[in-house]
Amino acid sequence: MKFRRIRSQPLSESVKTILLSLGLVLLWFLFADQATAFLFREEPSPLIRQTSGWWALVGATGVLLLFVSRKTIRRLATSRRPRADNGRYLDSIFRASPTGIGVVSNRVILTVNDRLCAMTGYSREELIGRSTRIFYPSDAEYQAVGSEKYEQISQTGIGTVETRWRRKNGTLLDILLSSSPILADRLAEGVTFTALDITALKQTERSLRENEHYYRTLIDLAVDGILLGTREGVIIDSNNQMCAMLGMEREALIGRHVSELPFTEASLAESPFRFDLLRQGQVVLSERVLVRPDGRQLFVEMRTKMMPNGTYQSIYRDISQRKQAEADLERLRVAIEQAGEVVVITDVEGAIQYANPAFVRVTGYAVSEVVGQNPRILKSDAHDQAFYKTLWETIVGGRTWSGQLINKRKDGTLYTEEATISPVFDDHGAIVNFVAIKRDITAQLKLEEQYLQAQKMESVGRLTGGVAHDFNNLLAVIIGYCEMALQKTADRHAVHEDLRNIHLAANRSADIVRQLLAFSRKQPIDPKILDLNEVVEGMLPMLRRLIGEDIELIWSPQAGLPPINIDPAQIDQILANLCVNARDAIRGTGTITLRTATIVADAAFRAAHPEAMERDYVVLSVADDGCGMEPELLGKVFEPFFTTKGALGTGLGLATVYGIVQQNQALIATDSEPGRGTTFSVYLPVHAGEQAPGRREQPEPVLPGNGETLLLVEDDQGILDVARTMLDALGYGVLSAQSPGEALRLAARHEGKIDLLLTDVIMPEMNGRELARQLTAMRPGMKLLYMSGYTAEAIAQRGMLDQEVDFLQKPFRFEELSRIIRRVLDGETP
């Protein structure tokens, strides 16, 4: 009974202690996360949870083994069993224990088990009777452990410390050392200790803590923001970058719900939180906009994953620059897509990778037709191989090429474009693409050509204007005297025919002057509303005589032409010059065809003729089957004095036509091929009024005077004399003066009435306008008529005359002089 009682009591205590130790271990593993969260005030890292679990297991095991050893030794010491049985029992425990166990008295080793010998490298014989100082690497460590355990045993009955022992071979090991006296009130009876080798555990702990440090350093150095949170969305940790992105301290973040982060409402509505997907183990991708405290917005890309322990990790990447770059690229794309210039991108071999809509508009090719093709599909025969070789060598050499290209559209028509082709380099300086920016300048070149032509015409016009003035003065004298002489001689008189030839030559000279003034656009015009068909039909007899009998003239009018508003004499000049040009292009026999038609200037027509307006035109075309012209000559045919006829040509015919066309806001086009003839087409604007076309006026008879007195002022003596002779013949009284001063004196002396002042405009001392102002002040009722070798338009532009005054252009004919003087005296409007 007594054996059973002694046995039952220690077994009962042992069971309680074992159960308590196991219970503590179990509770620790169950509530380790909550305990560490409470201790650290945050969610423990995986490293902390792992090490804390190991330490719980090690501590509980040490306490349990110490208790079992202590109880066992104590029970054996008080047991009535034979000592041999007790020794065998103790040896069995020592051998079976995975932990080093020993008994000391006053820190002198009494016994140890095999495990402790294996741990330290000493044999049992080497240890028994030795001080435990043998285990410690230093006296300080030996003394510190002894003091600490003594204090713990005195307070709780058990002492546990971590220390370091030195093996027999000199290597160190980490030890969890637990000690308890065999008899609580008598330490001299001995102290039982357990030594658990925790070297591997400490190494693991150090590795884990190093990894923990690396992990923390890594996330703090990350360029992305990182958030850790609970299953419910409460933030438990963040890295430095996340704090920087939010403009908040870590302490201010921890404990907040993720929904409290400063996302814009719009981005939350577009990309709400999906905790349901997180709980399913999915990686949730989203983009949102964060608003920093300073008001700046950040675009962030989020990747969130629920971890196995129930926490989530989110990576926030600042994509503001990417978004800005995407926006810039989108703006660039839209700009390129909507640009009027052609943009083409090729690879390094020249294959087209991209073409914008302007390319489609200009070339007629769809993008799908040209991607992968070489730009040589646009190649025309306008450039030689050396041209393209230079271009290619320039761009593959890393330089930019600029110049003009004549290319061919899908429909075969040619166009000229101004191009800049540049290489595109990567970060290493290698060429990865070529980009060409091109502009269709076909219309621009045509306008420039017309502008240059207009400048030439203006320059020649300034020259011819001065020449025409002097020449007109001479012709006025010649024609005037010739007409007076013809009136005084009979048809059969010996000199009558000579006078007629002189008169014809003078009139032809006057026509040349008119041509000079026409292409310089200084020719006075008298536009009338007329039917083009009637004007052409009236010219047909003269045109047939002009081109000769070997050439057939075909007239093909379109009936019912709308009226046009133009000077009929200009139509005569156009027809005469174009027919003479056609005649000279025909060698031997041939055909000249005159046609009229109407055309509507639609978009296609205006594209081919950029100077055209959106209106209707009447077309007069003159076509021949002569030799035709080379393309390089077509751009020069309207230049003044340009001729291919050598000494036989004046170079004024087509220039005159061009001047008339420009003067009437008309158009002219030329179509010619060598060996196939030439066609000139003149596009005359349709008159928009209601008036019916007028007939060409018939010559009027000479209108004599009624004895009125005229004051004639002219600084050129020849014109003064011939004009006085004409006026005398018409029956007028004439007061003549060669200068404005003489005219003023003559008017002051004359006692009778002066009915009309006929004065030159440009004279020494003062011009005709100033003279008229002074004379009308002296004689208010006097009528005024101006004359000049310059046109009225040119004089008005120089401010010498008003547009409304009566004007006589030199050279004038006898009947013309009679009519205009009679009209002015009678007060009729022109």
Give the end of a domain, one of 439, 458, 478.
439
pLDDT, tens only, 584-634:
888 888 999 999 999 988 888 888 888 888 889 999 999 999 888 887 777
660 and 750 in a common domain? no
Q: What residues make up the domain containing 90?
A: 2-200
What's the rounded Cα separation, in Å, for the pair 757 and 785?
6
Whole-number pLDDT of residue 10: 40
Whole-number pLDDT of residue 752: 92
pLDDT grade, residue 393 (50/70/90)?
very high
Is 213 part of any domain? Answer: no
249 and 387 in a common domain? no
Percent helix / strand / coil, the chain, rounded to 5:
50, 25, 30
Whole-number pLDDT of residue 702: 85
Q: Is 753 left (phi over 0), alpha (psi -120 to 50) or beta?
A: beta
pLDDT grade, residue 466 (50/70/90)?
low
3-state SS class at 453:
helix
Q: Which pairs count as long-range contacts for 610-617, CB under 8 Å and 24+ apart, including other chains?
A: 610/443, 610/446, 610/447, 611/447, 611/450, 611/667, 612/667, 612/683, 613/665, 613/685, 615/685, 615/686, 616/562, 616/685, 616/686, 617/666, 617/667, 617/683, 617/684, 617/685, 617/686
pTM of the model: 0.46
172 and 39 in a common domain? yes
Number of H helices, E strands in the chain: 27, 27
Give the end of a domain, one of 418, 439, 460.
439
What's the rounded Cα separation, in Å, for the pair 629 and 813?
41
632 and 604 in a common domain? yes
356 and 294 in a common domain? no
pLDDT grade, residue 405 (50/70/90)?
very high
pLDDT grade, residue 91 (50/70/90)?
low
Cβ distance 665 to 685 under 8 Å? yes
Task: Tell me which range, 152-161, 449-458, 491-500, 619-628, is most confidently predicted by mean pLDDT.
Answer: 619-628
User: Given a cut of 70, is residue 755 above it in pLDDT?
Assistant: yes
Is 434 part of any domain? Answer: yes
- The burial class, CB within 10 Å (0-12 / 13-18 / 19+), for 603 is exposed
344 and 305 in a common domain? no
268 and 169 in a common domain? no
Q: Which residue has the higher pLDDT, 68 or 105?
A: 105
Q: What is the CATH number of the domain that holds 347?
A: 3.30.450.20
What's the rounded Cα separation, in Å, for the pair 799 and 783?
21
Whether omega for the bond prior to residue 699 falls within 30 degrees of 0, making it cis, is no
Paired strand residues for 457: none
Is 469 part of any domain? Answer: no
122 and 231 in a common domain? no
371 and 282 in a common domain? no
> Which amino acid type is present at position 565?
N
> Which amino acid type is present at position 103?
V
Q: What percent of the chain has pLDDT over 70?
A: 79
Whole-number pLDDT of residue 795: 66
Is 488 part of any domain? Answer: no
User: Given a cut of 90, is residue 7 above it in pLDDT?
Assistant: no
The CA distances from residue 63 to 14, 324, 411, in Å, are 12, 64, 99
Q: Which of 312-321, 522-531, 586-595 has the lowest mean pLDDT?
A: 522-531
320 and 344 in a common domain? no
Q: Which of 735, 474, 448, 486 is nearest to 610 (CA)?
A: 448
Q: Which of 40-44, 660-664, 690-694 has the lowest mean pLDDT?
A: 40-44
The CA distances from residue 399 to 23, 395, 421, 616, in Å, are 83, 5, 9, 50
172 and 70 in a common domain? yes
Residue that the structure tokens 């820190």 belong to = 107
Task: Give the chain's domain count.
Answer: 5
302 and 349 in a common domain? no
Output the six-digit token pair for 504: 């014809």
